[in-house]
């Protein structure tokens, strides 16, 4: 039963309304393009940006002398030899301008005296990471960008749109996208002269994660099915000290990091012993441990039977006075108290949690992907952060890459005289929206997502072996078979709104493809580097200082290697 279909035309379509998508929309609009910004959730509310409670790295040099080249050196060092150097350079060079533009827009960066203040996050050689108090960086960035967008009446926005596929012409050129409106069930065809993917990462693939529900890797799947290549999909960053216990509501699980920046804090094992020195890094009350090493140290303590009761480590601020805690964290202390957590007399339990994805869509410094008409921005872009992202670079890349992608997309749109979406190129995706398979109301999509998350957490986590990865690939294949080729039959026209089974079917179609890409890439990389640790190949090998490209050919994933320095042509 075909639903009522809507066709929309725009110069620039931006998919995803985190910081990257919103900045791209603002910039494309400033360059004179008609822009449509869409999101699978509500505008500016889903995604990762709104969750970011930490810091944004930029070499402002206001408090201490700094320059983009120092930021670049730290980014490259953190990336363990795999950073795309041109993207990393762009990120570091344009960060200060974006931070200052947001400042002018009223984001409210924390200040000391008359200058923006910065903190030193692990991996940085000096204080370089700006923030909005108290742990309000992401919400403030989101709100600011939404406010700027609202001033421009020509910038159209539409939430609750699930994109099914990009529309690719015969020559691979992208001419828009097909999706459906979750609120009504209606199919939507969007013809666009340029399209920007700003869909974020893939942390939803994991049981414990620090991002929103809609971070299921859709952009990677859309790019793969349209014919683009991804790189470095094996590198999933785990944030070492995600909150584990006691149950804490109303706070993001990564909330302890800012406390550590300000107050240090002691990481202890289940026997209340400091343990990070066993793994090559003595903290000495300061917070200097890089993310990959901290994750490794906690996992190994748990494995050795020295974990905390819920299977992590303790984080203690008991050495800090109530006054010091209050000064550093203001109202957050009250929110903790509402959860019966008093840091002056108890530790909390923390454990690694899926946080960010280093891999992604291949793009050059104009954010141009391999496909004409398709641009990418933010976390969905692969390469800038190599095998391990430096703290503070995620929002930075969202802003810098978003701004650049918006500019490039608007310029590309100007070169195209009129819309060029051909109906035959959109027909397969529209058919998938309009003509579901048999009525499969018994298909428990919510449970299938939970099963996928368990597979990924248990067998494609930070520590991998061939046996675990092969088991994961078999589990992913079984889920794909269960999912089938067609979505559940659309509910009746009067009952079409917010059909979560149907939404989750389309989510799973993307998630399973992306999960397979991560596991297969991890299986092929027979070494350990940064966020990818193979217990059966524990050494980092010079011969593996290369990217892996993944592309889809007739349903089969093909992997190929490229030297790290030769990625950008």
Q: Which stretch binds another protein (CB under 8 A): 34-42, 75-83, 164-172, 369-377?
A: 34-42
CB of 156 to another protein, least distance (A): 9
Residue for token digits 């344009």? 94
CB of 453 to another protein, least distance (A): 10
Residue for token digits 């859709």? 218
- Choosing from 138, 201, 307, 359, the residue that interacts with another protein (CB under 8 A) is 138
**C-beta of 387 vs 503, nearer to another protein:** 503
CB of 153 to another protein, least distance (A): 9
CB of 46 to another protein, least distance (A): 4
- Choosing from 161, 289, 367, 519, the residue that interacts with another protein (CB under 8 A) is 161
Helix-strand-coil split of the chain, %, nearest 5: 40, 20, 40
- Choosing from 127, 158, 293, 411, the residue that interacts with another protein (CB under 8 A) is 158
Q: How far apart are CA 487 and CA 499, in angstroms?
A: 11
Q: How far apart are CA 292 and CA 287, in angstroms?
A: 14
CB of 5 to another protein, least distance (A): 13
- Choosing from 428, 498, 535, 565, the residue that interacts with another protein (CB under 8 A) is 498
**C-beta of 38 vs 224, nearer to another protein:** 38
Q: Which two tokens stand for residue 44?
A: 């500016």
Backbone angles phi, psi at 318, to 5 degrees: -65, -20
Q: Is 45 in the site for another protein (CB under 8 A)?
A: yes
Q: Is 22 in the site for another protein (CB under 8 A)?
A: no
Q: Which two tokens stand for residue 135?
A: 């742990």
The CA-based dihedral angle spanning residues 413, 416, 421, 422, taken in that order and rounded to the nearest 10 degrees: -170
Q: Is 165 in the site for another protein (CB under 8 A)?
A: no
Q: Which stretch binds another protein (CB under 8 A): 92-100, 246-254, 279-287, 508-516?
A: 246-254
Restricted to residues 416-475, the positions that interact with another protein (CB under 8 A) are 441, 443-447, 450
CB of 149 to another protein, least distance (A): 9
**C-beta of 76 vs 353, nearer to another protein:** 353
From residue 142, alpha-carbon distances to 39, 100, 122, 149, 529 in Å are 14, 16, 25, 11, 33
From the list 153, 170, 200, the residue with the least C-alpha distance to 21 is 200
From the list 23, 117, 149, the residue with the least C-alpha distance to 410 is 23
Q: How far apart are CA 89 and CA 52, in angstroms?
A: 23
Q: How far apart are CA 358 and CA 522, in angstroms?
A: 13
Q: Strand pairing partners for 192? A: 10
Residue for token digits 């009746």? 492
**C-beta of 248 vs 387, nearer to another protein:** 248
CB of 38 to another protein, least distance (A): 8
Q: Is 246 in the site for another protein (CB under 8 A)?
A: yes
Q: Which stretch binds another protein (CB under 8 A): 319-327, 398-406, 422-430, 493-501?
A: 493-501
Angle among Cα 123, 127, 131 to the nearest 5 degrees reads 100
Q: Is 181 in the site for another protein (CB under 8 A)?
A: yes
**C-beta of 76 vs 211, nearer to another protein:** 211
Q: Is 212 in the site for another protein (CB under 8 A)?
A: yes
Q: What is the 3-state secondary structure (H, E, C) of 42-76?
A: CCCCCCCHHHCCCCEECCCCCCCCCCHHHHHHHHH
Q: How far apart are CA 49 and CA 212, in angstroms?
A: 9
First-last CA distance in the chain: 47
Q: Is 291 a catalytic site residue?
A: yes
Q: How far apart are CA 366 and CA 24, in angstroms?
A: 12
Catalytic residue among 291, 534, 546, 551: 291
Q: Strand pairing partners for 556? A: 553
Whether the CB-CB separation of 301 and 263 falls below 8 Å is answered with no
- Choosing from 497, 535, 536, 541, the residue that interacts with another protein (CB under 8 A) is 497
Residue for token digits 């999960």? 515
Binding mask 248-287 toward another protein (x if CB under 8 A, else -) reads: xxxxxx----------------------------------
Angle among Cα 525, 530, 535 to the nearest 5 degrees reads 55
Q: Any idea what DSSP says for residue 404?
A: H
CB of 219 to another protein, least distance (A): 17
Q: Any idea what DSSP says for residue 193?
A: E
The SS3 call for residue 70 is: helix
Restricted to residues 313-372, the positions that interact with another protein (CB under 8 A) are 339-340
**C-beta of 121 vs 508, nearer to another protein:** 508
DSSP H or E run through 553:
strand 546-553
**C-beta of 67 vs 213, nearer to another protein:** 213
- Choosing from 120, 214, 408, 520, the residue that interacts with another protein (CB under 8 A) is 214
Contacts of 323 (CB under 8 A, 6+ apart): none
- Choosing from 41, 175, 396, 517, the residue that interacts with another protein (CB under 8 A) is 41
- Choosing from 423, 428, 500, 541, the residue that interacts with another protein (CB under 8 A) is 500
- Choosing from 64, 97, 213, 272, the residue that interacts with another protein (CB under 8 A) is 213
CB of 468 to another protein, least distance (A): 24
Q: Is 536 in the site for another protein (CB under 8 A)?
A: no
Measured in whole angstroms, how far is the alpha carbon of residue 552 from the centre of its chain?
22
Q: Any idea what DSSP says for residue 489?
A: P
Total Cβ atoms within 10 A of residue 158: 17
Q: Any idea what DSSP says for residue 495?
A: G
**C-beta of 70 vs 143, nearer to another protein:** 143
**C-beta of 139 vs 172, nearer to another protein:** 139
Q: Is 495 in the site for another protein (CB under 8 A)?
A: yes
CB of 142 to another protein, least distance (A): 9
- Choosing from 71, 157, 529, 546, the residue that interacts with another protein (CB under 8 A) is 157
Total number of residues shown for the chain: 569
Contacting positions for another protein (CB under 8 A): 38, 41-47, 50-51, 53, 138-139, 150, 157-161, 181, 183-184, 188, 212-214, 246-253, 339-340, 441, 443-447, 450, 494-495, 497-501, 504
Catalytic positions: 291
């Amino acid at each position: 039963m075909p639903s009522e279909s809507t066709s929309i035309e725009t110069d620039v379509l931006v998919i995803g309304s985190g910081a990257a998508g919103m900045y791209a929309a603002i910039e494309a609009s400033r360059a004179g393009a008609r822009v449509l910004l869409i999101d699978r959730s509500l505008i500016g509310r889903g995604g990762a940006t709104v969750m970011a409670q930490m810091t944004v790295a930029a070499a402002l040099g206001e408090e201490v002398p700094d320059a983009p080249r120092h930021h670049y050196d730290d980014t490259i060092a953190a990336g363990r030899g795999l950073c795309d150097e041109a993207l990393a350079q762009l990120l570091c060079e344009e960060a200060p301008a974006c931070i200052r533009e947001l400042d002018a827009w009223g984001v409210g960066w924390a200040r000391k005296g008359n200058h923006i203040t910065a903190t030193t996050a692990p991996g940085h050689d000096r204080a370089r990471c700006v923030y909005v108090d108290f742990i309000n960086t992401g919400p403030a960035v989101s709100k600011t960008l939404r406010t700027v967008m609202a001033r421009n009446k020509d910038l159209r926005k539409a939430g609750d749109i699930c994109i099914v596929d990009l529309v690719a012409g015969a020559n691979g050129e992208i001419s828009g996208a097909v999706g459906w409106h979750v609120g009504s069930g209606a199919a939507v065809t969007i013809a666009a002269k340029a399209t920007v993917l700003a869909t974020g990462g893939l942390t939803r693939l994991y049981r414990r994660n620090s991002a929103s529900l809609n971070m299921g890797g859709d952009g990677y799947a859309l790019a793969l099915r349209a014919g683009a290549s991804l790189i470095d999909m094996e590198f999933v960053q785990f944030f070492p000290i995600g909150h584990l216990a006691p149950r804490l509501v109303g706070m993001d699980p990564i909330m302890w990091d800012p406390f550590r920046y300000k107050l240090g804090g002691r990481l202890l094992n289940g026997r209340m012993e400091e343990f990070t020195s066993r793994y090559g890094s003595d903290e000495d009350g300061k917070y200097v441990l890089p993310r990959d090493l901290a994750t490794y140290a906690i996992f190994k303590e748990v494995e050795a039977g020295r974990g905390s009761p819920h299977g992590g480590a303790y984080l203690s601020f008991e050495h800090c006075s109530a006054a010091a805690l209050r000064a550093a964290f203001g109202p957050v202390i009250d929110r903790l108290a509402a959860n019966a957590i008093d840091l002056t007399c108890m530790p909390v339990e923390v454990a690694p949690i899926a946080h960010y994805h280093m891999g992604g869509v291949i793009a050059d410094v104009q954010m141009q992907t391999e496909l004409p008409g398709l641009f990418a921005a933010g976390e969905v872009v692969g390469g800038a952060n190599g095998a391990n992202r430096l703290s503070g670079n995620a929002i930075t890349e969202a802003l810098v890459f978003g701004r650049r992608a918006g500019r490039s997309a608007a310029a590309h749109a100007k070169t195209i005289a009129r819309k060029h979406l051909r109906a035959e190129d959109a027909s397969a995706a529209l058919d998938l929206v309009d003509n579901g398979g048999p009525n499969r109301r018994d298909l428990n999509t919510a449970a299938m997502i939970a099963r996928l998350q368990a597979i990924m957490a248990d067998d494609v986590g930070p520590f991998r072996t061939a046996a675990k990865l092969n088991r994961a690939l078999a589990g992913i294949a079984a889920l794909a078979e269960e999912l089938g080729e067609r979505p559940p039959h659309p509910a009746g026209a009067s009952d079409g709104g917010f059909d979560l089974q149907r939404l989750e079917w389309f989510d799973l179609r993307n998630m399973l493809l992306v999960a397979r890409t991560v596991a297969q890439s991890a299986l092929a990389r027979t070494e350990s580097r940064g966020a990818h640790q193979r217990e059966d190949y524990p050494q980092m090998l010079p011969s593996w200082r290369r990217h892996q490209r993944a592309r889809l050919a007739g349903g089969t994933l093909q992997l190929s290697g490229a030297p790290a320095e030769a990625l950008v042509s």
